[in-house]
């Protein structure tokens, strides 16, 4: 049988493309026009039940909400190749499912159902060759319930193509197309995003490394809001265009085991549309090794952050040295300079720091000590007497209050999630408290902030129109580990003293001195710590507190583990009346206990019991109790999990409880 020249050439081309560079893999996979492994899949069933009772303490208004949710469906997936995996290898999956949800709020019912449709396809071409191509596409159609069971349909489409090259200068070019459509009774939203990402690296040498990343993003977004009370629709166009370039590089030079190092990064970002923002940063650092015990470092940073409302420009530099003496003393010295210019003011800081770490074996045991000494001079000017703080990151855990870093907050806070897509509401999602000059924030049980969650906070503070002040720093920590006893003694002292030298008092200068005395012991999984803290402060009430912490971890058996812990704190405030604390709020008592018991009762069965109790009294009066149970069971191709939890909470203006049960059942085939 004769073969035409064209077919012979095509056959040779396919063989050449399929053979990997290392000539391996050809024998493991037979050559076939189309190969596919048998289709596998999963049948899944997921359910959730939640009952929440909440009563507003001042008004006595009660809210009872029941939420029942089911989701069931089928996942199918497979993979294979065309001719040979080194030519084209592919993966595919499909999801089909249904959803049902029933919500009852104070005897008002909201019922809904929906479907889930989705697929995911991907393929890689010539994966063993110097140039590789990857292609992918996916689509999902979901039904969700939000805003008290109002109907919400979500459709997502995602297609992409990536070209990769190997070698000493590996490169990648990624093209993506993303479409998102949301439709509900309240709004319709369509978003179309086109993205490009180009990356190139220099990996010729360990001593010379560099990486460049360029990103382009073009988003067209249209939102249509349907007012619940009637009236015309509100249509908003929210375009967004972003160009961003990031360059990072590293250079090692010199001789010897320890080598000099120069590293830096550059970033430029231009964003246009509904949010105007231009950013440019340059960060450079040089480390020089003069001997085995002496080195020096030099750093320079420039940053420009410009929006349609303000511009912030910062230049900072650092120079210092590091010296080791007799393997027992490390000394680091630094000089710092910062020049910041913002919309209606400026801030100049000059400072010096000396950090010493000392280690010594004594007849009693191992002694370690760290001492930090520092002094900063700062000049502050502001034509408006105000200063904006943007995107301060705070983690809200349990019902505990977290203090903002700056005192004398003016006006209200703007609190968003970390992606800045959700704005939280005071009184519904979080609560605010003021003690002295500082503002505190805590999440509200039943609100939109989960536990724990990192939130971003914007606020405005009072600033000096013109002031010069100095800040003295002193941090001293001491540890003694006894030789023959499982015992540690420690003492910490921290001082931050801000002193006005001239100009207007900005109202946020503070003197903070903290002394901590403690002892710690650990024996056979039991760890106990007792400490006493004395805190002196000008802008908040001084306090004395005594704390006792204990934790216990023990493997009780081959398949049984126990963890227990707790903390007791007794804190009293001095000068309470001066800071507006009445006799019932001049203290803060905190009691906490937690535990977890995990048992593997069989090779395929795991159960876990958890408990957490937190109670505060005095300046804060909160209570949070959590009891949980978890079961995981597997049998051949069947997997089942069950989670249950009971929560009881009492907060400033509300109290209630939440019961939740959820399960997941999977049958693989």
Cα gap 3→300, rounded to integer Å: 69
pLDDT at 62: 82
Peptide bond into 452 cis (omega under 30): yes
Please name the residues in contact with 94: beta carbons below 8 A apart, sequence gap of 6 or more.
75, 76, 77, 118, 119, 120
Question: CA 274, CA 240: separation in Å to the nearest integer?
Answer: 6
Residues with Cβ < 8 Å from 189, sequence gap 6 or more?
180, 181, 182, 183, 221, 222, 223, 224
SS (H, E, C) 548-602: EEEEEEEEEECCEEEEEEEEEEEEEECCCHHHCCCCCCCEEEEEEEEEEEEEEEE
* pLDDT confidence of residue 257: 79
Write phi, then psi, for 9 (nearest 5 degrees).
-65, -40
Indicate yes or no: pTM above 0.75. yes
Q: pLDDT at position 506, please?
A: 78
Beta carbons of 626 and 614 less than 8 angstroms apart: no
Please report the pLDDT score of residue 417 as a whole number. 82
CA dist., res. 265 & res. 283, Å (int):
5
Query: Count of alpha carbons within 13 Å of 333, Cβ hemisphere only?
Result: 6
Question: 531-559 pLDDT, tens per residue?
Answer: 999 999 988 899 999 999 999 999 988 89
CA gap 635, 605 in Å, rounded: 9
Bridge partners, 281 (sequence order): 267, 303
DSSP conformation class of 13? H
Per-position DSSP letters for 241-253, written without gaps between them: EEEEEEEEEEEEE
Determine how many CB atoms are found less than 10 A away from the CB of residue 406.
18
Question: pLDDT tens digits, residue range 431-478?
Answer: 888 887 888 888 887 677 877 788 888 888 877 788 899 999 999 999
- Whole-number pLDDT of residue 67: 86
C-alpha dist (Å) from residue 615 to 273, 315, 552, 612, 624: 48, 46, 21, 10, 7
Q: What does the alpha-carbon distance between residue 17 and residue 7 come to, in Å, rounded to a whole number?
A: 15
Question: Could you report the average pLDDT of every consecutive run of 10 residues in the chain (669 residues)?
Answer: 50 50 56 88 92 78 85 92 90 90 79 82 92 93 51 83 93 95 77 95 90 95 72 78 96 87 96 89 96 95 89 95 93 96 88 96 94 95 78 83 84 81 79 83 79 85 85 96 93 95 85 96 94 93 95 91 96 87 87 95 93 91 92 94 92 84 94
């Amino acid at each position: 049988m004769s073969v035409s020249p064209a077919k012979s050439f095509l056959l040779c081309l396919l063989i050449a493309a399929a053979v990997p560079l290392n000539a391996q893999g050809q024998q493991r996979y037979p050559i076939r026009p189309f190969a596919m492994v048998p289709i596998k899949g999963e049948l899944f069933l997921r359910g959730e039940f939640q009952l929440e009772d909440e009563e507003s303490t001042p008004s006595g208004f009660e809210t009872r909400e029941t939420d029942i949710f089911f989701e069931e469906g089928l996942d199918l997936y497979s993979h294979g190749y065309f001719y040979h995996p080194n030519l084209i290898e592919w993966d595919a999956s499909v999801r089909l499912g249904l959803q049902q949800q029933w919500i009852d709020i104070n005897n008002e019912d909201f019922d809904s159902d929906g479907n889930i449709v989705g697929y995911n396809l991907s393929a890689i071409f010539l994966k063993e060759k110097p140039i590789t191509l990857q292609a992918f596409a996916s689509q999902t159609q979901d039904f969700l319930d939000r805003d008290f069971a109002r109907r919400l349909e979500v459709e997502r489409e995602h297609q992409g193509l990536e070209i990769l090259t190997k070698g000493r200068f590996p490169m990648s070019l990624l093209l993506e197309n993303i479409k998102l459509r949301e439709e509900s009774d309240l709004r319709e939203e369509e978003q179309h995003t086109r993205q490009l990402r180009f990356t190139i690296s220099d990996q010729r040498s360990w001593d010379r490394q560099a990486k460049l990343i360029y990103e382009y993003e073009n988003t067209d977004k249209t939102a249509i809001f349907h007012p619940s009370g009637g009236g015309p629709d509100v249509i908003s166009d929210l375009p967004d265009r972003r160009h961003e370039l990031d360059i990072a590089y590293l250079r090692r030079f010199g001789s010897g085991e320890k080598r000099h190092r120069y590293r830096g990064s550059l970033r430029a970002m231009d964003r246009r549309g509904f949010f105007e923002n231009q950013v440019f940063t340059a960060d450079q650092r040089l480390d020089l090794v003069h001997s085995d015990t002496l080195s020096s470092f030099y750093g320079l940073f420039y940053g420009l952050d410009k929006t349609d409302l303000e511009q912030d420009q910062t230049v900072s530099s650092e120079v210092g040295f590091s010296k080791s003496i007799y393997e027992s003393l490390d000394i680091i010295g630094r000089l710092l300079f910062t020049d910041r210019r913002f919309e209606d003011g400026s801030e100049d800081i000059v400072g010096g720091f000396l950090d010493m770490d000392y280690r010594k074996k004594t007849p009693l045991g191992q002694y370690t000590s760290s001492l930090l000494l520092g002094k900063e001079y700062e000049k502050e000017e502001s034509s408006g007497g105000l200063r904006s703080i943007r995107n301060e990151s705070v983690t809200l855990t349990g019902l505990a209050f977290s203090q903002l870093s700056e005192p004398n907050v003016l006006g209200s806070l703007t609190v968003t999630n970390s992606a800045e897509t959700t704005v939280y509401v005071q009184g519904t999602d979080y609560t605010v408290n003021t003690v002295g000059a500082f503002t505190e924030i805590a999440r509200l049980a039943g609100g939109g902030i989960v536990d724990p969650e990192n939130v971003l906070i914007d606020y405005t503070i009072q600033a000096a129109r013109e002031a010069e002040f100095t800040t003295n720093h002193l941090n001293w920590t001491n540890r003694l580990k006894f030789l023959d006893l499982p015992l540690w003694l420690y003492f910490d002292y921290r001082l931050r003293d801000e002193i006005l030298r001239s100009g207007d008092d900005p109202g946020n200068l503070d003197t903070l001195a903290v002394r901590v005395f403690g002892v710690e012991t650990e024996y056979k999984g039991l760890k106990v710590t007792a400490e006493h803290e004395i805190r002196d402060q000008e802008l908040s009430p001084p306090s004395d507190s005594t704390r006792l912490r204990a934790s216990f971890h023990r493997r009780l058996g081959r398949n049984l583990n126990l963890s227990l812990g707790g903390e007791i704190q007794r804190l009293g405030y001095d000068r309470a009346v001066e800071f507006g604390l009445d006799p019932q709020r001049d203290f803060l008592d905190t009691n906490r206990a937690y535990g977890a018991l995990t048992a593997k009762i069989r090779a395929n069965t795991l159960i876990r019991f958890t408990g957490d109790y937190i109670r505060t009294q005095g300046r804060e009066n909160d209570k949070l109790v959590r009891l949980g149970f978890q079961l995981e069971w597997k049998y051949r191709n069947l997997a089942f999990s069950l989670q249950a939890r009971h929560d009881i909470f009492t907060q400033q203006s509300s109290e209630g409880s939440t019961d939740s049960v959820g399960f997941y059942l999977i049958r693989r085939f």
